[in-house]
Structure 1
Amino acid sequence: MKKNSHAYTNLINRNNFTAIMWNSFKNGFKSYLQLEKSLSDNSVEAYLRDVDKLCFYLVGIGEEKPPKSIELKDLQAFVKFLASLGLTAASQARTISGIKGFYKYLLSENAVSTDPTELLELPKLKRALPDILSFGEIEKIIGAIDLSKAEGHRNKAILETMYSCGLRVGELVNLKVSCLYLEDGFVRVIGKGDKERLVPIGEEAIQFIRYYLSERKKNKIAKDFEDVVFLNNRGKTLSRVMIFLIIKDLVKKAGIKKVISPHTFRHSFATHLVEGGADLRAVQEMLGHESITTTEIYTHLDKHFLRTTLQQFHPAFKR
């Protein structure tokens, strides 16, 4: 929609009545997303852009409808409009999800009596299964760390923690010393939307974190970064890009040809749990997924794993 932003502005300027009708609801929606849903600024802006797209469409076709007058047929026509712009199925689904969130808010505020998005179908998405690492490959990558280097023990603690806890890279770089409960075998993680969760941490990871923290005291730590666990050589928070580069270098040294990112360790953590028979709800809690449907991708990974195992070892599959 970026290329249409000027067209949107021009249309809105010519039709202030429609803009005024929708802007008051948008402002309330913005406050709801910030205060009640605790979403990041980027997420809030994405939701508001989705509502803007619908408003743009209505103004463009000459419809001066307030949100309460929108019907399912209007939204179905809007979806066709999105497709005509060349938006992918994933982008269409993202926009529709934003509109659904908007109407969920309006319904909660009694601004509408019915939700026209309730029967609106999302485009079918082909969800690609992410690359995962076997336990042996993870051991090989961690084994490629040069512990004689100053950052060696830090990097080992990083990878052990990523795999042991299934953390997002943002959660890893923002992990706080005050959130480590190593005696109890847990870490407190601040996830998406500032939601907190307790995640178990393995003995290996605990051992390497403790060693790294004892070594870290010998280096200068920048002011206000004392509570950050993993620091760069300037004593400040590591960037996400730095974590990616560390892993990329180790994967190359380990001779692994898969396309690996920090998120691969999270996928591998979840997949190995499911393969081992872990309850899906428990995996959902540890990953910090808001919806169980997000976690269910790992059941598909599990089936893929089972089939691959059968093909490799079962005589009937080797004929």
Structure 2
Amino acid sequence: MERFLDHLRVERGLAANTLEAYRRDLARYRAFLLGRGVRDGAMAAAEDVRGFVAHLSAAVHGDGRRYRASSVARALSAVRAFHRFLVREGLAGDDPSAGVVRPRLPRSLPRPISVEEAARLLDGPEDPSPVGLRDRAILELLYGSGLRISELVGLDVDDLDLEEGSVRVLGKGGREREVPVGRAARDALARYLSAGRPALASARSRGALFLNHRGGRLTRQGCARILARRARAAGIEARVTPHTLRHSFATHLLEGGADVRVVQELLGHASVATTQVYTLVTRAHLREVYLTAHPRARRPTTAGGR
């Protein structure tokens, strides 16, 4: 399995978080196989893979919650990739996972905040402190450019081109893309770079764009806490995470008339099918507005049309 993980890291260039997810899922698979007396993954049979899927589907976390179907599906994807690798490398004769049915996933649509809620979040009281300038720049960039949280905290100062209005982003699978930065985000970033970051910087900062109060690179968890705090202050009741702003970025662009393939490029999705889930959100929103606003959308008509 270590050889397979090396392949993912070196040849496919997967991100550290994705690699760690593969490692966890394959460690569970290895432990399950050992429990059935299978000491070599190349010797696993289809019933072993099906048994692993059934085992995960019935398993519970330490707090009593059952594994979600999406978690089981992700683990099966890792197992399939592992067995395909063994066949490709000549280490196994066949792929025992090929005929195993993937768990049926319930359709889960993204939950963006509204345009009005986004305005409340971003247009809150100005905080001229270094941390306040940093937080405003983070919010404007997350919503204004649709970055993943891992992309945002991984940014270096040199990735920004405020004059051109763009940011260079290293996305999933090591794919690099250039994303536009709007006027509001450019202004917030300029203020942070001139008056915020210098006050936070220390010898350990190096090129990191967003810094914590100790001068180190801001973490994903730190960024999530910032956003949760700002959402509460703006009176937004729904849970708002960094990915919520990414959902909102995509949904609001499509509602404004943007082409789905343009949104795909901005989000850094490898497939347009991933982006098209946001078109379902906008259709759901249109239907909700219609049913709420049109006088004859819900009310049954009487005989004779009166």
Q: What CA deviation, in whole Å up to 9, does each residue of 1:177-204 have, x standing for no partner?
A: 1111222222101223443221111122
More divergent stretch after superposition (76-85 vs 161-170): 76-85
Residue 97 in 1 paired to residue 71 in 2? no
Alignment correspondent of 1:142: 122
Distance 2:152 2:171 in 1: 10
Cα distance change of structure 1 residues 242 and 110 upon mapping to structure 2, 3 Å threshold = same
Q: Which moved more, 1:137-146 or 1:247-256?
A: 247-256
**Structure 2 gap ranges (5+):** 61-66, 300-306
How big is each residue's C-alpha offset from its partner over 1:151-197, in whole Å with a ceiling of 9 and x where there is no partner?
A: 33332222111111111222222221111122222210122344322
Sort the Cα spacing of 1:66 and 1:154 in 2 relative to 1 into closer, same or farther, 3 A.
closer
The CA distance in 1 between the partners of 2:2 and 2:151, in whole Å, is 30
**Which of 31, 39, 53 is the aligned partner of 2:6?**
31
Q: Aligned residue for 1:309? A: 289
What corresponds to 2:255 in structure 1? 275
- Which of 230, 254, 275 is the matching residue for 2:234? 254
Q: What is the CA-CA distance between 1:223 and the residue it aligns to?
A: 1.8
Q: Distance in 1 between matches of 2:242 and 2:26?
A: 33
Cα distance between partner residues in 2 of 1:260 and 1:126 = 22
Query: What does 1:149-298 align with in structure 2 at a 5 Å threshold?
Result: 149-216=129-196, 219=199, 221-298=201-278
Q: What CA distance in whole angstroms lies between the structure 2 residues aligned with 1:81 and 1:218?
A: 52
Distance 1:55 1:151, change over 3 A: closer
Contact 1:29 1:102 in 2 (8 A): yes
After superposition, the C-alpha distances for 1:206-262 in whole angstroms (9 at most, x for unaligned) are: 122122212247526212424222223443322333323332232222222111122
Query: Which SS does the other structure have where 2:199 is aligned?
Result: coil
Equivalence map 1:27-66=2 (5 Å): 27-62=2-37
Question: Which consecutive unaligned segments of at least 5 residues does structure 1 have?
Answer: 1-25
CA spacing shift, 1:227–1:112, aligned 2, 3 Å: same
Q: Tell me if the contact between 1:162 and 1:172 (Cα under 8 Å) persists in the aligned partners.
A: yes
Instruction: Determine if contact 1:131/1:260 at 8 Å carries over to the other structure.
Output: no
TM-score normalised over the length of structure 1: 0.80
Q: CA RMSD in A?
A: 2.7
Say whether the 8 Å CA contact 2:131–2:196 is kept in structure 1: no
How many aligned residue pairs are there? 293
- Cα 1:127–1:110 shift into 2, 3 Å: same
Q: Which amino acid aligns with 2:188?
A: F
* TM-superposition CA deviations, 1:266-307 (whole Å, max 9, x none): 110011122233333332332223444433321221221111
Specify whether residues 244 and 304 from structure 1 end up closer, same or farther in structure 2 by C-alpha distance, changes over 3 A only.
same
TM-score (norm 2): 0.83
SS of residue in 1 equivalent to 2:296: helix
Q: Secondary structure at the match of 2:118?
A: helix
Cα offset, 1:150, TM superposition: 4.1
Asked whether the equivalents of residues 121 and 234 of structure 2 are also in contact (C-alpha less than 8 Å), the reply is yes
Contact 2:30 2:41 in 1 (8 A): no
**Change in 2 beyond 3 A, CA 1:278/1:103:** farther
Closer, same or farther: CA 278–119 of 1 in aligned 2, 3 Å: farther
Q: Given that residues 261 and 272 in structure 2 are in contact (C-alpha distance below 8 angstroms), is that contact kept between their aligned partners in structure 1?
A: yes
- Name the SS for the 1:238 alignment partner: coil
Question: Which piece of structure 1 moves more, 129-138 or 92-101?
Answer: 129-138
Q: Is the 8 A contact 1:230 1:238 kept in 2?
A: yes
Give the Cα separation in 1 of the matches to 2:191 and 2:38: 65
Checking the alignment, whether the CA contact within 8 Å between 1:145 and 1:156 is kept in structure 2 is no
- Which structure: greater helix fraction? 1
Kindly provide the CA deviation profile for residues 122-170 of structure 1, in whole angstroms up to 9, marking residues without a partner as x: 1112243333112221111112133344433332222111111111222
Give the distance between the partners of 2:105 and 2:219, measured in 1 at CA.
32
Contact preservation (8 Å) 2:122, 2:136: yes
Report the Cα distance in structure 2 between the residues aligned to 1:47 and 1:247, rounded to whole angstroms: 28
Residues in 2 aligned to 1:249 and 1:50: alpha-carbon distance in whole angstroms: 33
